[in-house]
Amino acid sequence: MTLESNEKAELQYSQSRLDEGSPVEEAAPANQCKSLDGYIRFLGPNYTTTIDGKTFDVFTMECKWQTDYGSDVEKGNLNDTFSGSTGRGSSTEVSKTYRYESPERIYSLQLKVSKDMYGTGQGISQNVIDIKKYEPIIDTAVQTLKIE
pLDDT band at 30 (very low <50, low <70, confident <90, very high): low
Identify whether 69 is part of a domain: no
CA dist., res. 20 & res. 18, Å (int): 5
Identify whether 80 is part of a domain: no
Residue range of the domain that includes 19: 2-64+92-143
Identify whether 75 is part of a domain: no
Of 23-27, 103-107, 114-118, 133-137, the one with minimum mean pLDDT is 23-27
10 Å CB burial of residue 130 (0-12, 13-18, 19+) is: exposed
Nearest to 35 by CA among 98, 112, 93, 100: 93
Identify whether 20 is part of a domain: yes
CA dist., res. 94 & res. 131, Å (int): 7
Identify whether 7 is part of a domain: yes
Q: Domain containing 12 — which CATH number?
A: 3.40.1000
pLDDT band at 98 (very low <50, low <70, confident <90, very high): very high
First to last CA, the chain: 21
The DSSP symbol for 123 reads -
Q: Who has greater pLDDT, 113 or 118?
A: 113
Identify whether 76 is part of a domain: no
Q: What is the pTM of this model?
A: 0.70
For the chain, the domain total comes to 1
Identify whether 131 is part of a domain: yes
Which amino acid is present at 141? A
Identify whether 136 is part of a domain: yes
CA dist., res. 143 & res. 68, Å (int): 41
